[in-house]
Amino acid sequence: MKTAISIPDPVFEAAEELARRLGKSRSQVYAEALRQYLERHDHITRRLNEAFDAAPELAELAPVLKEMQYRSLPKGDW
């Protein structure tokens, strides 16, 4: 699938250089990078879910932390 994205010039240049060094296309470099990012994100989410399944009490914020979190939100219409 083709897509258009905007990235900062330094990131683009670094990706171009990496593609040249590896002998890969720009598309291959971006696809591999995104695949690795998604795998890492899924891994972290799985590990957090496992930790909270093992100790559900950790998933619930202490009342004082809930209040602090609530107070940190900007006021206004949602």
42-65 residue pLDDT tens: 988 888 888 888 887 776 777 888
Does residue 34 have a pLDDT over 90?
A: yes
Whole-number Å distance between alpha carbons of 78 and 39: 33
Percent of the chain beyond pLDDT 90?
A: 47
Q: In the prediction, which pLDDT does 25 show?
A: 96
Does residue 76 have a pLDDT over 80?
A: no
Three-state SS letters, 10-52: HHHHHHHHHHHHHCCCHHHHHHHHHHHHHHHHHHHHHHHHHHH
Q: In the prediction, which pLDDT does 78 show?
A: 63
The domain spans of the chain are 9-72
On whether the pTM is more than 0.85, the answer is no
